[in-house]
Amino acid sequence: MAALKPDIVLMDVHMPGMDGPTTTKALLAEFPETKVVAWTVSESSDDLLRMMQAGCSGYVLKDSGPGELQRALWAAVRSESPVPRKMIPDVLRRVAERTPLSQATTVALTSREMQILRGIAKGLTTKRLARDLGLAPPSVETHLHNIFRKLNSTNRGEAVSTALKLGLITLADL
């Protein structure tokens, strides 16, 4: 494997021997630049959370079509965190339930940043947000980076989870 230096790896959650999270941690310890995308039949939010905690860049269900798999791989390459939209509400609820509220609950997001935050909470893509808000995709990306910085997050899922914990958005926004 060391001779290959993979850019991206598809990883199953449940495998004989080492499971997906353990294998992902070991792989990323040796190749930290590699993007690992979970490709699995498991729709369990526990499995998704374990894989993301292990360092996966995304999570794709095997019953997805080839187009969705390809979009997820490209999203991972762009440092986005693709996850099945149907799993997002359950995962965010679980994360919000497990994590205590922060003491510093004052985060100043602009009205445009709040629109984009609500959009990503619903699982909208950058392209869809740009179209819906009448913006260019690079403008949406700039707002996303500002949201990540203000919420001390590294990806969309973390930003939405933090926003839920801080009360910036509610489960009704999902």
Q: Is 166 exposed, middle or buried (0-12, 13-18, 19+ CB in 10 A)?
A: middle
Q: Is 68 exposed, middle or buried (0-12, 13-18, 19+ CB in 10 A)?
A: middle
Q: Which pTM was predicted?
A: 0.57
Cβ neighbours around 44 below 10 Å, total: 15
Which sign does the torsion angle of CA 125, 141, 96, 68 carry? positive
* Spatial separation of the C-alpha atoms in residues 127 and 80, rounded to whole Å: 13
Lowest mean pLDDT among 36-45, 101-110, 125-134, 162-171: 101-110
Tell me the two tokens of residue 1. 């494997």
* Spatial separation of the C-alpha atoms in residues 105 and 14, rounded to whole Å: 38
Cβ neighbours around 145 below 10 Å, total: 10
Q: Distance from CA of residue 116 to its chain's centroid?
A: 15
pLDDT, tens digit, 9 for 90 and up, residues 1-56:
567 788 999 999 998 889 999 999 999 999 989 999 999 998 888 888 888 889 89
pLDDT, tens digit, 9 for 90 and up, residues 70-115:
988 998 888 787 888 788 777 777 766 665 555 445 688 999 999 9
